[in-house]
Amino acid sequence: MMNPTSIPDPGSAIEARFLASLQSVLPTQRPIVLHEPLFKGNESSYVQECIDTGWVSSVGKFVDRFERDLAEMTGSRHAVAIVNGTAALHVGLKLAGVATGDEVLVPALSFVATANAVSHCGATPHFVDSSDSNLGLDPQALREYLGIVAERTGDGLRNKSTGRRLAAVVPMHAFGHPVDMDGLLAISRDFSLPIVEDAAESLGSLYHGRHTGTFGICGALSFNGNKIVTTGGGGALLIQDSALAQHAKHITTTAKRPHQWAFFHDEVAWNYRMPNLNAALGCAQLERLDAFVAAKRQLAQRYQMTFANDPDIRFVAEPPGCRSNYWLATVALRHPSIELRDKLLAVANDTGLMVRPAWTLLNKLPMYQACPSAPLTVATQLEGAIINLPSGPAVALGVGS
Interface with its own copies (CB under 8 A): 36-39, 43-44, 47-48, 50-52, 54, 56-58, 83-87, 100, 111-113, 116, 119-120, 122, 224-226, 230-233, 254-256, 260-271, 273-278, 281, 345, 349, 355-360, 365-367
C-beta of 87 vs 206, nearer to its own copies: 87
What does the buried/exposed string (b/e) look like for 70-105 if buried means 16 or more CB atoms within 10 Å of the residue's CB?
bbeebebebbbbbbbbbbbbbbbbbbbebeeebbbb
- CA 25 to CA 315: how far, in whole Å? 13
C-beta of 183 vs 235, nearer to its own copies: 235
Does residue 167 contact residue 155 with C-beta atoms inside 8 Å? no
C-beta of 45 vs 242, nearer to its own copies: 45
Q: Which residue type does 228 have?
A: I
Instruction: Give backbone dihedrals phi and psi of 103, rounded to 5 degrees, phi first.
Output: -115, 145
C-beta of 73 vs 365, nearer to its own copies: 365
Instruction: Give min distance, CB of 77 to its own copies, in A.
Output: 26
CB count in 10 Å sphere of residue 395 = 24
Instruction: Give min distance, CB of 345 to its own copies, in A.
Output: 5
Instruction: Give min distance, CB of 113 to its own copies, in A.
Output: 6
Instruction: Give min distance, CB of 274 to its own copies, in A.
Output: 8
Instruction: Give min distance, CB of 167 to its own copies, in A.
Output: 17
Instruction: Give min distance, CB of 198 to its own copies, in A.
Output: 13
Instruction: Give backbone dihedrals phi and psi of 229, rounded to 5 degrees, phi first.
Output: -130, 155
Residues 6+ away with beta carbon under 8 Å from 60? 50, 276, 279, 280
C-beta of 105 vs 277, nearer to its own copies: 277
- CA 93 to CA 60: how far, in whole Å? 27
- CA 20 to CA 13: how far, in whole Å? 10
C-beta of 85 vs 176, nearer to its own copies: 85
Q: Which residue type does 340 have?
A: L
- CA 257 to CA 121: how far, in whole Å? 24
Instruction: Give min distance, CB of 309 to its own copies, in A.
Output: 27
What would the DSSP string read from start to end of 170-222?
--B-GGGPPP-HHHHHHHHHHHT--BEEE-TT-TT-EETTEETTSSSSEEEEE
C-beta of 260 vs 309, nearer to its own copies: 260
Instruction: Give min distance, CB of 312 to its own copies, in A.
Output: 20
Residues 6+ away with beta carbon under 8 Å from 97? 167, 168, 194
Instruction: Give backbone dihedrals phi and psi of 239, rounded to 5 degrees, phi first.
Output: -140, 135
C-beta of 90 vs 158, nearer to its own copies: 90
For residue 193, how far is the Cα from the chain centroid? Answer: 21
Instruction: Give min distance, CB of 242 to its own copies, in A.
Output: 23
C-beta of 157 vs 172, nearer to its own copies: 172
